Every structure is written in structure tokens, then in C-alpha cells.
């Protein structure tokens, strides 16, 4: 009982992070992210996913979320609604949304790496632990994602706002 | 090294996307704790309360059923006053478990409805509680709660199946 109570407290602390990460892993599908997160909580509380202490609790939890999201998406592949065409969205967006466009063009893995490293400020090693991949692979995804964003910025010579980024990428 | 402006922009991109989707409360997703058992106990208690509250309607249904078997309402009332409901439920339960029986002598199927009806009539007219033991000198021990249902016992509370199933002792 005590262990369960402590686990619930820990899960409550990391709930916001886990939910955002589940949304990222589920292509911003709120219902699916909720299902994934609930499955994760059941796994954790029933001991089907155990924290061995090899990483930080948050890192481990995000890894469980990611694996569960993969399982759910694999099982529901026929039910997935195709996302709107990204090229169609481009025509609707203004030139100042060039980074948004670039982010939409990234692959799922690249977007996840960018999210973990930029938004959640994980190291590449931490991201590799969450994504269950080796560091070299994660580093390659990270650099390719940055290259894509850089090339998008370079090609967007109409906007003056994003130009300061180009020299950095 | 990453440009902080670019980092801010990417962070804003993720924030906007995540906020547009909306959040889900932790309590809506977390499984129920075992500490919630009082809530479950309350729910079960409420269910039992509703069932007990419905009991008078069930007894009235039994009464109607009993009235259908006898023409005298007072007999039915007496039967119910004797807490015959419990006996009737037990009897009906036993009856459902022994619904298809054949008479040992004739081999004919004993109709449970006829037995039930005749027993009800007999019980309602006797105005007596069922005996624990059957005083029949034929020593019938196949009846429920000591009540002879195969032959007419001397106590007078068992059914007379002679006319109903043609299986009685002549």
C-alpha cells in the first residue's frame, strides 16, 4: 500500500511531462494519449513496468510512455485517421511560420528528439534512453532535424525574422 | 550550440500545439486506489438498499401468484403472514432444481407447475406453518424441508398429487 501511494505521488508529479510526451508520441491525438497514459499508469502501479533505478524516474517514465504509445499505435493502425496533408497546410501558413512548417516536415523520430532536447532539455544520452536507441542514432536524428530546419530557413529568404537563425544552424 | 531565439521558437511551437490539444487531469487517468473501498462498499450498500426497498413489490407479486392459485384472499394473506415468503422462495428454488422429475411408479413426468400450484393451494388453506418433519406414515423423505410432496401426508399441508399427476397412492 505504501509503495503504491508513493508511486501515485510520483506519477502525479510527472503527470504533465508524461501527458505532453504521450501527445507528442500520438501525433497530438488527445484520446489516444489519454489511453496510453492510463495504460502506463496501470502498468506502473501493477508492477508490470518496474523502475530499476538505472535512470531518473522521469526518464524511465517517458520511456514507458513511448513504448506503450508504440504498442497502442501498432494495434490501432487501422483506426488511425490520416493527418491532414502537410503541403496543403503550407499554403495556408504565413511566411513567419517557417519554423512551424519545418517542424511539421520532420519525421516522428526527429520531432521527438527535438522535443526532448529542446523543449524538455534532455541530453542526447537521456533522449537515447527514452527512445530506446543508441546515442549515435539519436545524434544523427538530431543533426538531421537541425539540418532540415536550417535548410527550410535558408530557402525562406522572403522572411527577415528568421534570418538570424541561419548563421547558427 | 543552438540559437536561443530558435530554441524559443521551437519551444513555442510545441507549447502551442500541446495547448491547442488540451490537457487531461491526473485523477481522470490514474487507476482507483484500494483506499476507495469505502466508496465501493457504499455503492454495494445502496444496491442492497434498493433491493430491499423493492421487496414489498416482490411480495405483492408473490401474493398475486398465490391468489391465482386460491380463490380465497384471506388464505393468501394468512400464508404471507406466516412468513411464507421465505419458504416459498426456498421451495421455488428447490423446485427449479428438481423441475423435471418422474414418478417412480408410473414413470410419468411430474409437472412442476401442478405440484407448485397444488402445494400453494394446500398451504394457503391449511393456515399452518410448514412442519420441519413429515409425519407421514409412508415416511416420504423426498420433499423439501420435510414436507411431503409425493403423497398426501397426514399433516395436511402437502399437496394431493393424486388428481394432478395421477401418481398418488390409491
Pick the CATH number of A2-75 from 3.40.50, 1.10.1740, 3.40.1000, 1.10.10: 1.10.1740
pLDDT tens track for B98-110: 555 555 666 655 5
CA–centroid distance for A151 within its chain: 22
pLDDT tens track for B116-128: 555 555 555 544 4
Q: For residue A2, is pLDDT > 60?
A: no
**ipTM of the prediction:** 0.74
**Verdict on whether the full-model pTM lies above 0.80:** no
The A residues from 75 to 114 touching B (CB cutoff 8 Å) are 99-100, 103, 114
Q: What percent of chain B has pLDDT over 70?
A: 22
Q: Rounded to whole angstroms, how far apart are CA atoms A92 and A98?
A: 12
Fold category of A86-166 in CATH: Arc Repressor Mutant, subunit A (1.10.10)
Q: How many CB atoms neighbour CB B61 within 10 A?
A: 10
Domain boundaries, chain A: 2-75, 86-166
The B residues from 17 to 56 touching A (CB cutoff 8 Å) are 17-18, 20-24, 26, 28-31, 33-34
Q: Under an 8 A CB cutoff, do B18 and A23 touch? A: yes
Predicted local distance difference test score (pLDDT) of residue A139: 92
Residue in A62, A86, A64, A70 with CA at minimum distance from that of residue A32: A70
Q: For residue B50, is pLDDT > 50?
A: yes
Q: For residue B53, is pLDDT > 60?
A: yes
Count of A-B CB contacts under 8 Å: 75
Are A143 and B32 spatial neighbours (Cβ–Cβ below 8 Å)? no
B127 phi-psi bin (left φ>0, alpha ψ -120 to 50, beta other): left
Are B152 and B158 spatial neighbours (Cβ–Cβ below 8 Å)? yes
- Residue B86: pLDDT band by 50, 70, 90 thresholds? low
The A residues from 36 to 55 touching B (CB cutoff 8 Å) are 37-38, 41-42, 45
Amino acid at each position: 500500500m505504501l509503495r503504491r501511494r508513493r508511486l501515485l505521488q510520483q506519477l502525479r508529479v510527472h503527470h504533465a511531462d508524461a501527458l505532453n510526451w504521450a501527445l507528442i508520441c500520438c501525433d497530438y491525438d488527445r484520446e489516444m494519449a489519454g489511453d496510453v497514459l492510463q495504460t502506463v499508469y496501470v502498468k506502473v502501479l501493477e508492477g508490470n513496468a518496474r523502475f530499476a533505478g538505472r535512470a531518473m524516474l522521469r526518464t524511465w517514465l517517458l520511456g514507458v510512455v513511448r513504448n506503450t504509445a508504440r504498442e497502442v499505435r501498432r494495434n490501432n493502425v487501422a483506426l488511425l485517421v490520416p493527418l491532414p496533408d502537410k503541403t496543403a497546410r503550407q499554403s495556408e501558413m504565413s511566411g513567419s511560420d517557417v519554423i512551424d512548417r519545418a517542424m511539421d516536415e520532420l519525421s516522428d523520430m526527429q520531432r521527438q528528439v527535438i522535443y526532448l532536447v529542446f523543449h524538455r532539455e534532455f541530453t542526447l544520452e537521456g533522449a537515447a534512453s527514452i527512445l530506446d536507441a543508441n546515442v549515435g542514432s539519436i545524434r544523427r536524428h538530431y543533426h538531421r532535424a537541425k539540418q532540415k530546419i536550417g535548410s527550410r530557413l535558408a530557402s525562406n529568404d522572403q522572411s527577415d525574422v528568421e534570418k538570424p537563425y541561419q548563421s547558427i544552424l | 550550440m543552438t540559437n536561443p531565439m530558435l530554441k524559443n521558437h521551437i519551444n513555442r511551437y510545441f507549447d502551442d500545439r500541446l495547448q491547442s490539444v488540451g490537457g487531461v487531469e491526473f485523477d481522470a487517468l490514474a487507476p482507483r486506489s484500494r483506499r476507495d473501498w469505502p466508496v465501493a462498499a457504499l455503492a454495494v450498500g445502496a444496491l442492497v438498499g434498493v433491493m430491499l426497498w423493492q421487496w414489498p413489490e416482490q411480495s405483492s407479486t408473490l401474493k398475486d401468484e398465490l391468489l391465482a392459485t386460491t380463490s380465497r384472499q384471506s388464505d393468501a394473506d394468512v400464508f404471507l403472514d406466516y412468513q411464507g415468503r421465505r419458504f416459498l422462495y426456498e421451495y421455488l428454488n428447490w423446485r427449479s432444481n428438481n423441475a423435471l422429475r418422474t414418478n417412480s411408479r408410473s414413470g410419468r413426468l411430474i409437472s412442476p407447475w401442478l405440484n407448485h400450484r397444488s402445494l400453494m393451494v394446500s398451504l394457503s388453506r391449511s393456515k399452518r406453518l410448514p412442519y420441519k418433519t413429515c409425519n407421514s406414515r409412508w415416511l416420504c423423505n423426498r420433499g423439501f424441508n420435510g414436507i411431503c410432496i409425493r403423497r398426501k401426508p397426514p399433516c395436511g399441508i402437502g399437496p394431493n398429487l393424486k388428481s394432478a399427476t395421477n401418481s398418488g397412492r390409491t
